[in-house]
Amino acid sequence: MLINLVAIFALVLGVGPHPASLGLAALLATAGHALLVRLAAYDPQGWRVFARHFRYRDVYPAGAHPFAPARVVHPFTLR
């Protein structure tokens, strides 16, 4: 919600009161907020998952280790 609000203020105050920036800011204020409300209703524990990924990011790095062994891929697996 805060990123949406910052984007709206950046469009209105940063770009200036042009019809295109005001229209885009109005679209973000209405459709963007409605989308965020639907996402929050769909996954009410999304914030906990987001916070938990910060706790585990040192344990599970985003990239593979350069000296990690190659994964064996079998030709007949569906995965």
Residue 64 falls within a domain, yes or no?
Answer: no
Q: Is residue 60 part of a domain?
A: no
Does a structural domain hold residue 66?
Answer: no
Q: Does 71 fall in a domain?
A: no
Domain holding 11, by residue range, is 2-55
For the whole model, what pTM was predicted?
0.53
Does residue 30 lie in a domain region? yes
Which residues have a Cβ under 8 Å from the Cβ of 32 and sit 6 or more positions away?
A: 4, 7, 8
pLDDT value, residue 49: 83
User: 6 lies in a domain?
Assistant: yes
Report the number of distinct structural domains present in the chain: 1
pLDDT for residue 44: 79
Is residue 4 within 8 A of residue 36, CB to CB? The reply is yes
The answer as to whether 70 is a domain residue is no
Examine residue 27 and state whether it is found in any structural domain, yes or no.
Answer: yes
The answer to whether residue 79 scores a pLDDT higher than 60 is no
Tell me the per-residue pLDDT of 13-60, one tens digit each, with 9 for 90 and over: 988 888 999 999 999 999 999 998 888 888 878 778 888 888 887 776
